[in-house]
Structure 1
Amino acid sequence: MEFNKIINDDSIKVMKNLPSEIFDLIVTDPPYKTITGGDSNGKSSERPKGILSGNRKLFKHQNIKISDWMPEIFRVLKEGSHCYIFTNVLNLTEMLNEAEKAGFKLHNLLVWEKNNCTPSQYYLKNCEYVLFLRKGKAKWINDIGGSKTVHRFDNIIGNKTHPCEKPVNLLKFYIANSSNENDVVFDPFAGTGSAMVAAEELNRQYFGCELEEDYFDIAYKRVNKKIIH
């Protein structure tokens, strides 16, 4: 199978046509439900500045079920390998339940502490959660003495290419800890390709899928590889 490319296609469809256990690591930030800080506009309501009324749909293809793709990422991941999945508090329970149903075991719950906050009526949100999962027997990370569960990397506030873009250095931290050079990193929801960039900078191979063409085109330019439609 050819690696080092990003495919502009539905990752669930793509994965169903892939062989089992071909990837050494999965790092992904899947589309999931998002909410605002609350909808109350009554007289006693004091809405923090920046909160919008009503739920927001950030992407064209956001309404996919976790249960549709979780078993597939488990199947294509090699035995004895790690998987990192970003999530928020609203989806944390369902994400973990579906991961365990698929066969994953939870290694740890990681926290990315951001340097900006999302307005909220229920404590300002300044972090995201990452399910650190394993397939099969426990596998040590590469930096067992210097890696903590809370990670502080600069957030991308100014020149974002994607609403949920993650810092490349954060992704490099996970990839460096859970893979070796020439291993293959898979991101089924690649966005604008940050995980692919991180993998390439660490001399890993990569394979990604992104359904929204605008984001796919940006990802292609970032990794400068052949476009696969």
Structure 2
Amino acid sequence: MSILREITIGNARLILGDCREVLPELRGVADMLFCDVAYKLTSGGNAHQSMGGLFASDNYNNDGLLMDVPPWHDLGGPFFHACKDNADAYIMTNDKNLFQAGAAFEGAGWKFHNLLVWDKIRATRNRWYMKNLEFTTYWWKGKADPQGINHCGSKQSFQLNAPKETAHPTEKPVALCEHYILNSTTQGDTVLDPMMGSCAAMVAAVQNGRHAIGIEINETWFEVACARVRKALA
């Protein structure tokens, strides 16, 4: 059974399950897709001894895995088919996974718009330049001459030193998700997050009058997502 649990809260539909099994049941539902994909991190050696925060030795055992990690080539196609024609997609990744993500999504039919950057201002210690950036590959599905973003003065780089609101290891700020959602949707549109994690995109969507569909494989984070959406709508 692909959908293990499902809860509707206001204009949000939250689904417990593996997105690779659930998405075939959601063909053509989304006007925009946001996903902070669970990807493998750098592993090997003792590099983590020179790093802090998320990658400190007491949080990260250096095997490259913080959570279940699906192959990139498993995602591009299901994400594509879950979107309506002329939909936008924002797929977050780090430097190590950038090229794999690009190949997988281009191969699935997505067309590349732009490479966006979240400048976190604060940096993670690293022996090969301190890391203060995460990347968002910005894609579209549909016609050859797509419509531009709603706020054409938006820059490629989004600067935000955001405090954490949950204990999720790769939490993204609501404000970053909101920036993308307000640029690629209008009120009443549907935003899909196939790996909702800490639920930032769902919160941003419902707070701005969008419908939201989120999928999460981890039951603990599914419960956190439900609580955050209830609070956002309250």
TM-score bin (small chain): 0.7 to 0.9
Matched, 1:164 2:170: yes
Structure 1 residue 132 displacement after superposition: 0.5
Structure 1 residue 156 displacement after superposition: 2.8
RMSD: 2.0
- Separation (CA, whole Å) in 2 of partners of 1:211 and 1:96: 24
- Separation (CA, whole Å) in 1 of partners of 2:42 and 2:184: 32
In structure 2, what is the equivalent of residue 195 of structure 1?
Answer: 201
Structure 1 residue 4 displacement after superposition: 1.6
- Separation (CA, whole Å) in 1 of partners of 2:172 and 2:20: 22
Matched, 1:149 2:149: no
Could you tell me which of 1, 12, 23 is aligned with 1:4? Answer: 12
Q: Is the 8 A contact 2:51 2:124 kept in 1?
A: no
Q: Is the 8 A contact 1:111 1:130 kept in 2?
A: yes
Q: Is the 8 A contact 1:29 1:189 kept in 2?
A: yes
Matched, 1:117 2:123: yes
Matched, 1:27 2:34: yes
Indicate how the Cα distance of structure 1 residues 49 and 196 shifts in structure 2: closer, same or farther if over 3 A, else same: closer
Q: Which amino acid aligns with 2:123?
A: C
In structure 2, what is the equivalent of residue 210 of structure 1?
Answer: 216
Q: Which amino acid aligns with 1:17?
A: E
Secondary structure in 2 matching 1:111 = strand
Alignment deviations for residues 167-201 of structure 1 (CA, whole Å, 9 cap, x no partner): 10111000000000010000000002111000011
Secondary structure in 2 matching 1:214 = helix
TM-score w.r.t. structure 2 length?
Answer: 0.85
Q: Is the 8 A contact 2:172 2:198 kept in 1?
A: no
Alignment deviations for residues 135-191 of structure 1 (CA, whole Å, 9 cap, x no partner): 0232200001x200010123234x433111111011100000000001000000000
Which runs of 5 or more residues in structure 2 are unaligned?
Answer: 1-7
Q: Is the 8 A contact 2:166 2:198 kept in 1?
A: no
- Separation (CA, whole Å) in 2 of partners of 1:15 and 1:40: 38
Alignment deviations for residues 55-82 of structure 1 (CA, whole Å, 9 cap, x no partner): 34211x22x1111121011011111111
- Separation (CA, whole Å) in 2 of partners of 1:86 and 1:8: 21
TM-score w.r.t. structure 1 length?
Answer: 0.87
Identity %: 35
Q: Is the 8 A contact 1:156 1:166 kept in 2?
A: no
Query: How many residue pairs get matched?
Result: 214
Matched, 1:16 2:20: no
Secondary structure in 2 matching 1:186 = strand
Secondary structure in 1 matching 2:136 = strand
Indicate how the Cα distance of structure 1 residues 73 and 80 shifts in structure 2: closer, same or farther if over 3 A, else same: same
In structure 1, what is the equivalent of residue 107 of structure 2?
Answer: 101
Secondary structure in 2 matching 1:166 = coil
Q: Is the 8 A contact 2:91 2:138 kept in 1?
A: yes
